[in-house]
Amino acid sequence: MFSQAEKYSHMIKQEALRLGFMSCGIAKAIFLEEEAPRLESWLKAGHQGEMSYMENYFDKRLDPRLLVEGAKSVVSLTLNYYTDETQTDVSAPKISKYAYGTDYHSVIKAKLQELMAFINANIGEVDGRCFVDSAPVMDKVWAQKAGLGWRGKNSNLISKQAGSFFFLAELIIDLELAYDNPFATDHCGSCTRCIDACPTDAIIAPYTVDGSKCISYLTIELKNEIPTEFKGKMDNWMFGCDVCQDVCPWNRFSTVHQEENFIPKEDLLGLSKAELIDMTDEVFKKVFKNSPVKRTKFSGLKRNIDFLQQS
């Protein structure tokens, strides 16, 4: 016989898969004792760069019960974004795969709200919050605790079945559920491909990324000028970077996503190097409408492209 908690957990997981999520795992909402010293030392070393928001809400980052009163469970979800499509002009400044389609924040938020509505309609009045990259939640830690994968040497969550080209999201709710076993095995072994391939040497040690050196940080998060020390090291990336994932052997198991909203925009993939260099604000607004690339604004993307031409 299933307990009520097991029955509810099964229902939530089934609905998550129906909504298009790739996997779903559940962990007990507790204080992340092991992560506290790691996070503190990472911040003290300045690896967050100008991402000052990483320093905010330290306590909330480590305890979901401070984000949702009476929280009992953290439901972790993954959503595949892998595509085998590429930009047409191989010499054009590059965009990370995750930004080929519609902004994932809105896509995932809508799915999470549907999942929350399902819980309230089928289980009862449950209080909670949806999280997609926009609050102090240690999503990779919770996903590992929920059994969805391990954190690789590039610090990304990796799944044996699906690699790492997926988004992470959470529901933190005040409902007691049946909890999955944490993913306890590290399957990176002696492999150092991600460390060896990183163009800016941002992976300073296995499992430790200096965010201030990461190309994704430099092209998206950094608001000031890109430091001259990175000239010639950007590997032609103008928005994000996929290098440490592209070289990861586990990504041979990646499969093309089935999410309509993530279908690459043809006019985006079709931009030539010359069109990107000469791009106007008008073209930027048209091509990158509802795209994660909008985050850099036109001025930020132009800064990145100009920096690549100077390198």
| Domain assignment of residue 178, yes or no | no
Give the burial string for 154-176 (b: 16+ CB within 10 Å, else e): bbbbbbeebbbbbbbbbbbbbbe
Counting every residue written for the chain, the total comes to: 311
| Domain assignment of residue 283, yes or no | yes
Instruction: Choose the catalytic residue: 133, 242, 267, 281.
Output: 133
* Nearest 10 degrees: Cα torsion 245, 135, 32, 187: -10
Arithmetic mean of pLDDT, 273-277: 98
Q: Is pLDDT above 90 for 274? A: yes
Q: Are residues 29 and 105 in the same domain?
A: yes
Band the pLDDT of 230: cuts 50, 70, 90. Answer: very high
Q: Are residues 156 and 219 in the same domain?
A: no
Q: How far is CA 6 from the centre of its chain?
A: 28
Q: Are residues 279 and 154 in the same domain?
A: no
* 231: CB partners within 8 A, 6+ apart: 307, 310, 311
| Domain assignment of residue 30, yes or no | yes
Q: At what angle do helices 104-122 and 4-18 cross, to 10 degrees?
A: 140
Q: Considering its fold, how many domains does the chain have in total?
A: 2
pLDDT tens sequence across 148-187:
999 999 999 999 999 999 999 999 999 999 999 999 999 9
Band the pLDDT of 37: cuts 50, 70, 90. Answer: confident
Question: Would the CA dihedral through 267, 311, 246, 35 be positive or negative?
Answer: negative
**How many Cβ atoms sit within 10 Å of the Cβ of residue 185?**
6
Q: Are residues 19 and 165 in the same domain?
A: yes
Q: Are residues 162 and 13 in the same domain?
A: yes
Long-range contact pairs involving 284-293 (C-beta distance under 8 Å, separation at least 24): 290/102, 290/103, 290/106, 291/99, 291/101, 291/102, 291/103, 291/265, 292/98, 292/99, 292/103, 292/104, 292/105, 292/239, 293/95, 293/99, 293/239
Percentage of the residues of the chain whose pLDDT score is greater than 90: 89
Q: Are residues 243 and 158 in the same domain?
A: no
pLDDT tens sequence across 56-91:
788 999 999 999 999 999 999 999 999 999 999 999
Q: Are residues 34 and 104 in the same domain?
A: yes
Q: Are residues 20 and 134 in the same domain?
A: yes
Range of the domain at 199: 193-253+265-310
Q: Are residues 75 and 218 in the same domain?
A: no
Q: How far is CA 217 from the centre of its chain?
A: 13
Q: Is pLDDT above 90 for 11? A: yes
Q: Are residues 115 and 28 in the same domain?
A: yes
- This prediction has a pTM of 0.95
89 belongs to the catalytic site: no
Q: Are residues 19 and 114 in the same domain?
A: yes
**How many Cβ atoms sit within 10 Å of the Cβ of residue 244?**
27
Mean pLDDT, the chain, as a whole number?
A: 96
